[in-house]
Structure 1
Amino acid sequence: MKKIHVVSKAVAVTGLLLGFTASDAVAQASVQVYGLVGAYVGSAKRSGDASSVLQEGGGGLTTSYLGFKGNEDLGSGYKAVFALESFFRPDTGEQGRSATDPFFARNAWVGIEGGFGRVTLGRQTNPTYTNMATLSPFGSSVVFSPLVLQSFVATYGSAIVGDTVWNNVIEYTSPNLGGFKGAAVYGSGEVPGQPGIANMGLHGSYTQGPFTAALSAQRVRVNTPSSAVSQQDAYLGGVTYDFKLLKIYTSLEKTSSSSGIASKTYDAGLSIPITKNGSLLAEVARTKVNAPKNIETARTTASIGYDHFLSKRTDVYAIYVFDKKSNAGSAGTVGVGMRHTF
């Protein structure tokens, strides 16, 4: 009985605190709680793997996260803004995409917004990854999008050096100018005596009716224990067009590094509405990597699936991923999942 009383009291106090928080947020009209919960089950096998793995994973089409964002009117058309977003794994209840993630791994920034645009400081999502999400019918998925898999996921080759989120970033985002939005980012390496060791990027997107174009250019410099610097330059460009009967996606990605390794990724996809609430999704990406001593490798990854919305915020899906790299046999991954936004 004592345990029941303690639990009941804890629940009541938590509810009261949440009530005050919600009431204050509504009164101030300045703070929002939001996020996404997703999970999938399936059998995963990449080209070169010895065997498949039956698994339940957190995320799927979108990595699960919890976020808080808000703003305060400073007058004269200016606002203070902030965002704090944390990844989590609903399959295990653990925080982060992995054990190495910081608590607010998805975003943790504060800034000022006005007619000039927005300037923010802190840990922020890499705009190359944001643009990539608009150029793939599978969005930002690190499980099912061939473009994202071959660009950022190590087990698929990871053509682009660095994470989808950057630390110590100063970012300027322009206002919407006739459909165009631009961004410039600078992430300090914070290395004493070496101010040039930093990440930089220039990004832009343009949307006019059914047409969208996106372009990203970034430079990543990685410090080693010997204080040597390895640099990679990466470029991404692509377009989408919605014909209503179907939407097409196409993009090209190129990288080059100080180590002599270069890559090209060609990607194409489409989404076709099958029902009022469901669409067929398909995409294929092929990456060719050239290394010193005339070593060349290639990888092809293709996905096909169906995504069905049960409501505005909840959808279910089934997806198959084919994978083949030049020095190994082909393999396949299949998954069914669900996600809910709030």
Structure 2
Amino acid sequence: MNVRSLGALALVCTAAWAMTPRAAQAQTSVTLYGLVGLDIASSKRSNGPTAAFAEQSPGLTAPYWGIRVNEELGAGYRAIAVLESFFQPTSGGMGRTAADPFWGRNSYVGIAGPFGRVTLGRHTNLLYLAEQVANPFQASILFSPLVMQTFTAPYGGSMLGDSVWNNGIQYTSPNLNGLTATAVYAPGGFAGANGTYNAALSTLYAGGSLTAVATVQRTRVVAGVASPTQNAYLVGGAYDFSLFKVYGALQGLRTDSTGIGAHTYEAGLAVPLTPVLTALAEWAYTRRSAPHNAATGRNTGSAGLDYVLSKRTDLYLLTVCDRLSGHGTAMTYAGGIRHLF
């Protein structure tokens, strides 16, 4: 039995112990949850190799499972902890790839109360969360053009680091009439280099039909190694007109010393066709600059249908059209399933 298997077994045993009456008397709750999903796709990108036909995971959403712990401390305060792991249904492997740590999605502990929430550990990147507010395909690295052109290197993504940050000290404010703010500071841990850290600030408004987000971040540490300083921002949101929902975002980044910069413009649409069937569409254009005034532009568009079978299960059919300047248009076609538990 390998180390990952032993770790999983130990945590399942811990969760089982926590859900005994003894834990209940201490006003502690432990929740096991997650998502399983994959699709069958013929995938091709502009300037890429010939189309490949295969099952793929992540599909529309990266599969994961997690354990959430809440303990009531009194006076409105709670101790909280989250452990989440990605996995690959296509092969049974852990992580999105073999490079992921076991608890690759989130792993943090903290205190929540009237003041808000403070957590320590590994957290999902705030700019990645902001992108999910501003596009109809949410977290998808394979079908959201905004996310693809930011975090997916084959689609020209120039964002330094992963969609998850290590060593974070994160604070989230209380909700004030729909407005919340989140700040994270992630020290690099380099001796004599206290200025080498990652930091981000995000504000989110959700009230009525409007959802709006603004995020800025500075990255100086990638995978535990000091990197060139990169500054990035995103402003965007969504408005629900009842008959349809529109999305939009403007995003930019610049990396010091390399001269690499990028500006992305995105628009999206979700149209409920029936109570269980929704049409989704999104387009993004990124203009990427590099040293010596070299520049490239990329247009990526996605469209498809999402059919809700139940409260926890849905089916989808999607297509992606991709074109990099100077190269031909490429198409991707996919059909898949997701199940929440």
Normalization by structure 1: what TM-score? 0.91
CA 1:331/1:195 → structure 2, altered by over 3 Å: closer, same or farther? same
Match of residue 203 from structure 1 = 202
CA 1:301/1:176 → structure 2, altered by over 3 Å: closer, same or farther? same
Match of residue 239 from structure 1 = 237
CA 1:224/1:211 → structure 2, altered by over 3 Å: closer, same or farther? closer
| C-alpha contact (below 8 Å) 2:234/2:252 kept by paired residues | yes
Quote the Cα distance in structure 1 between the aligned partners of 2:281 and 2:138. 12
Question: Quick check: 18-27 or 132-141, which moved more?
Answer: 18-27
1:256 Cα deviation after fit: 1.0
SS at match of 1:327: coil
**1:70 maps onto 2:69 in alignment:** yes
1:304 Cα deviation after fit: 0.3
Match of residue 211 from structure 2 = 212
Gaps of 5+ in 1: 1-14
CA 1:68/1:54 → structure 2, altered by over 3 Å: closer, same or farther? same
**1:102 maps onto 2:71 in alignment:** no
| C-alpha contact (below 8 Å) 1:37/1:59 kept by paired residues | no
| C-alpha contact (below 8 Å) 2:202/2:215 kept by paired residues | yes
Match of residue 83 from structure 2 = 84
Match of residue 137 from structure 1 = 136
Match of residue 115 from structure 2 = 116
| C-alpha contact (below 8 Å) 2:58/2:96 kept by paired residues | no
Structure 1 residues 3-42: Cα deviation after superposition (integer angstroms, max 9, x where no partner): xxxxxxxxxxxx9998766545666451100000001001
Quote the Cα distance in structure 2 between the aligned partners of 1:16 and 1:94. 21
Match of residue 7 from structure 2 = none
**1:230 maps onto 2:232 in alignment:** no
| C-alpha contact (below 8 Å) 2:161/2:223 kept by paired residues | no
Quote the Cα distance in structure 1 between the aligned partners of 2:109 and 2:223. 30
Given candidates 244, 248, 251, the residue that maps to 1:250 is 248
Gaps of 5+ in 2: 1-11
The two structures, once aligned, show a CA RMSD in angstroms of 2.0
Q: Number of residue pairs matched?
A: 327
Match of residue 4 from structure 1 = none
| C-alpha contact (below 8 Å) 1:107/1:123 kept by paired residues | yes
Q: Which amino acid aligns with 1:248?
A: V
Question: Quick check: 150-159 or 82-91, which moved more?
Answer: 150-159
1:316 Cα deviation after fit: 0.3
| C-alpha contact (below 8 Å) 2:172/2:181 kept by paired residues | yes
Larger radius of gyration: 1
Identity of aligned residues (%): 46
Normalization by structure 2: what TM-score? 0.92
Match of residue 267 from structure 2 = 268
Quote the Cα distance in structure 2 between the aligned partners of 1:16 and 1:179. 39
Structure 1 residues 228-266: Cα deviation after superposition (integer angstroms, max 9, x where no partner): 740110000012100011000010001111021111000
1:223 Cα deviation after fit: 6.7
SS at match of 2:34: strand
- 4+ long deviations beyond 2 Å: 15-29, 222-225
Q: Which amino acid aligns with 2:249?
A: S
SS at match of 2:292: coil
Quote the Cα distance in structure 2 between the aligned partners of 1:194 and 1:223. 15
| C-alpha contact (below 8 Å) 2:18/2:30 kept by paired residues | no
| C-alpha contact (below 8 Å) 1:68/1:83 kept by paired residues | yes
1:222 Cα deviation after fit: 3.8
